[in-house]
């Protein structure tokens, strides 16, 4: 199998290690194989691919969509290095409000599957980074939600000197300020 799958500390998140084949010409790896992923519990259909380019210290997130448009995401870094963050916003989950962080980089190629029920974001640790991710639901602006990146109750160390944020992300509320109906 061209992948190794590892369950993360928060239920539902899966770390995917692709096998990279190298020779004098460079390298080759499979990035996605529906049968292998399904055999390891990742079987929702992916319906949209997104890619971002960002400079160092950029923080994107924490974002999610409400139901019925909640998105699972398969995240990988094509160039550079990021800190990828997922926050459990499943109200009935024993880990509600907990977060988990992963360093992802293009050199290793490790991917993270984050099912719906999590807010997601990342910070750029290298000079620049290209992040590519597949989603299980289409982007729907009317269902878009977010949580403040520097919510003190979450205590996330984004590993940036000074966060570069979108205007929209600067205005997001903390998790405790969210209407419970907007969570998953």
- Sequence spans of domains, the chain: 3-182
What pLDDT score was predicted for residue 117?
96
What pLDDT score was predicted for residue 184?
82
What pLDDT score was predicted for residue 44?
84
Catalytic member of 64, 99, 120, 133 = 133
Prior bond of 98 cis (ω within 30°): no
Catalytic member of 63, 64, 113, 120 = 63
Q: Which helix (DSSP H) or strand (DSSP E) does residue 39 occupy?
A: helix 34-39
Is 133 a known active-site residue?
yes
Q: Read off the tokens for 114.
A: 């984050």
Is 120 a known active-site residue?
no
pLDDT in tens, 32-63: 999 999 999 998 899 999 999 999 999 999 99
Q: What span, in angstroms and rounded, lies between the C-alpha atoms of 54 and 48?
A: 20
Q: What span, in angstroms and rounded, lies between the C-alpha atoms of 184 and 182?
A: 7
What pLDDT score was predicted for residue 181?
85
pLDDT in tens, the chain (184 residues): 689 999 999 999 999 999 989 999 998 999 999 999 999 999 889 999 999 999 999 999 999 999 999 999 999 999 999 999 999 999 999 999 999 999 999 999 999 999 999 999 999 999 999 999 999 999 999 999 999 999 999 999 999 999 999 999 999 999 999 988 888 8
Distances in Å between the Cα of 158 and the Cα atoms of 56, 108, 137, 141 are: 12, 20, 27, 26
Distances in Å between the Cα of 59 and the Cα atoms of 56, 129, 143, 152 are: 9, 11, 21, 16
| The CATH number fitting domain 3-182, selected from 3.40.50.2000, 1.10.10.60, 3.40.50.920, 2.60.120.10 | 2.60.120.10
């Amino acid at each position: 199998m061209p992948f190794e799958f590892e369950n993360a500390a928060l239920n539902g998140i899966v770390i995917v290690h692709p096998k990279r084949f190298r020779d004098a010409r460079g390298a080759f790896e499979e990035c996605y194989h529906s049968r292998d992923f399904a055999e390891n519990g990742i079987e929702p259909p992916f319906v949209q691919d997104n890619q971002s380019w960002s400079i160092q210290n950029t923080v994107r997130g924490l974002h999610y969509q409400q139901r019925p448009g909640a998105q699972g995401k398969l995240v990988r870094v094509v160039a550079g290095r990021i800190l990828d963050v997922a926050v459990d916003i499943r109200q009935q989950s024993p880990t509600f409000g907990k977060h988990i962080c992963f360093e992802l980089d293009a050199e290793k190629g490790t991917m993270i599957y984050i099912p719906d029920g999590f807010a997601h974001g990342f910070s750029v640790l290298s000079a620049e980074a290209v992040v590519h991710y597949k989603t299980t639901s289409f982007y729907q602006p009317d269902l878009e939600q977010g949580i403040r990146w520097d919510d003190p109750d979450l205590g996330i160390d984004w590993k940036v000197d000074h966060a570069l944020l979108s205007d929209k992300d600067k205005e997001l509320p903390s998790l405790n300020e969210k209407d419970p109906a907007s969570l998953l």
